[in-house]
Amino acid sequence: MTERMESTESVRAIALAAKAASRELGTTTGEKRNQALAAMAQALRARAPEIVAENSLDMEAARRAGTAESLLDRLMLDESRVEAMAAALEDLMVLPDPLGTVQVHRELYNGIELDRVSVPLGVVAMVYEARPNVTADAAGICIKTGNACVLRGGSLAARSNAVIARLLHEAAVGVGMPRNCIRALETTDRSATDELMALHGIVDVLIPRGGAGLIRHCVEHSKVPVIETGTGNCHVYVHASADEDMACAIVLNAKCRRYGVCNAAETLLVDRSIARSFLPGMLSALAHEGVLMHCDEEAYDCAIWTRDESGRTGIELNFVRATDEDWATEYLAPEIAVKCVDGIDEAIEHINRYGTKHSEAIVASDDGAAGRFVAGVDAAAVYVNASTAFTDGGEFGMGAEIGISTQKLHARGPFALEALTSYKYVLRGSGQVRM
């Protein structure tokens, strides 16, 4: 029934229905919203076979279309993955209610009592790719924060998303949440995203979760405010004062812990003065992990020397000459750009020019240099003597990370539930008028 309704409704009509739901949702208690989360988790568990069955159809179609293995893995659901989605919904229940918090209380000179109180944003639109777990995740986060949501998942996951959204909606409505509090768009063509982006005044925020192309498209065309997430062209800068063993360990971790993540290092910057002592060991270690190196001239010379010296150890050193394009590339792969710099000013300038304001690290034992780096680099997270791999809501001690913002307004860096709230000023008087 829900499915039939959606397929004939316009994106605008769906968003308006969600807007109406959001009015009611915004006045529910935290307890009620937690009950909804429990019911939603329960529904996923109880109906796991149905979800897995729909997912199999998505998988079949995706395989027939020649989808890459890595995408298929993101798309695939089995009972244990459904269980993980349910558990994630329950994890939200124990977090404090983000609504109704009095952030500021003040009695004005005229006796008016002013409170600044946290409230939901209203309607949250999420646009994402073929990861059906995001459907449950986004719906849960929105219910927890009292927001209605409009979800637009990738076409590869259309059946999976539809059944998950329908079950979650039924479960939430079953315990008293308003109808239309969770809506998934059935149309998965790009025009649906474009329609969503035009709904200024109806949709309160748009959060794209996906590749750089999707995010850029949203930032450039949305009339609805966007929280820009994700792309990370991160650097590790090894200062002349660095402990070289520490630097090597940090670079390896930042580059090789996981290749496909936004907090992975993509460029290594090294002070020219220590290049000859530091780089041979560093490049060997990267070669040992199978990393392809895009080297500037000086690093290239080091690589040749390292290859010749280490030829007998049997490690194959893969390196090419870097082009300007490499400095701006987020490889998301076992590749790294390597560049020598004439000290901290050049390092900061390079990072501010090519970085994506995500995560940047310096390895240095000189506190003055570290301080200048921290002050001069424009990024959400700046590290001194630690790996960029820590940029993550969980590692930062937040609950329920939604994404990592690379913009500066509203939310920066890893963001969680509070980013889906706003506030209102409530002023209670006894007839005050302004002179």
Per CB under 8 A, residues contacting its own copies are 23, 26-27, 106, 108, 112, 114, 121-122, 200, 204-205, 219-220, 223, 225, 227, 243, 246, 249-250, 252-254, 257, 352, 370, 374-376, 378-387, 389-391, 395-397, 407-410, 412-413, 422-434
Which one, 78 or 378, has the nearer CB to its own copies? 378
CA gap 381, 406 in Å, rounded: 10
Q: How many C-beta atoms surround the C-beta of residue 308 within 10 A?
A: 10
Q: Which of 263, 286, 429, 292 is nearest to 356 (CA)?
A: 263
Return the SS3 of 27: coil
Which one, 339 or 357, has the nearer CB to its own copies? 357
Q: How many C-beta atoms surround the C-beta of residue 412 within 10 A?
A: 17
Distances (CA, A) of 127 to 47, 75, 139, 143, 149: 25, 15, 12, 17, 11
Give the bridge partners for 267, in sequence order: 235, 337
β 182-184/148-152 pair status: parallel
Which one, 303 or 361, has the nearer CB to its own copies? 361
Residue 311 CB, shortest distance to its own copies, in Å, is 29
Residue 370 CB, shortest distance to its own copies, in Å, is 8
H-state helical runs in 26-113: 30-46, 48-64, 69-75, 79-93
Q: How many C-beta atoms surround the C-beta of residue 268 within 10 A?
A: 26
Which one, 187 or 421, has the nearer CB to its own copies? 421
Which one, 321 or 408, has the nearer CB to its own copies? 408
Residue 79 CB, shortest distance to its own copies, in Å, is 28
Name the one residue in this structure whose structure tokens are 């006796």. 111
Phi, psi of 238 (to 5 degrees): -100, 110
Residue 141 CB, shortest distance to its own copies, in Å, is 16
Which one, 194 or 243, has the nearer CB to its own copies? 243
Residues 164/55, Cβ–Cβ less than 8 Å: no
Residues 337/346, Cβ–Cβ less than 8 Å: no
Find the helix packing angle between 367-376 and 344-354, rounded to 10°: 20
Q: Which of 36, 48, 57, 78 is nearest to 168 (CA)?
A: 36
Residue 280 CB, shortest distance to its own copies, in Å, is 21
Residue 345 CB, shortest distance to its own copies, in Å, is 11
Which one, 116 or 272, has the nearer CB to its own copies? 116
CA gap 342, 321 in Å, rounded: 19
Which one, 45 or 350, has the nearer CB to its own copies? 350
Spell out a b/e string for 389-401, using b for 16 or more CB atoms within 10 Å of the CB, else e. Answer: bbbbbeeeebebb
Residue 408 CB, shortest distance to its own copies, in Å, is 4
Which one, 136 or 206, has the nearer CB to its own copies? 206
Residue 357 CB, shortest distance to its own copies, in Å, is 9
Which one, 94 or 433, has the nearer CB to its own copies? 433
Residue 110 CB, shortest distance to its own copies, in Å, is 8
Q: Which of 232, 334, 233, 242 is nearest to 285 (CA)?
A: 334
Give the bridge partners for 359, in sequence order: 381
Residue 251 CB, shortest distance to its own copies, in Å, is 10
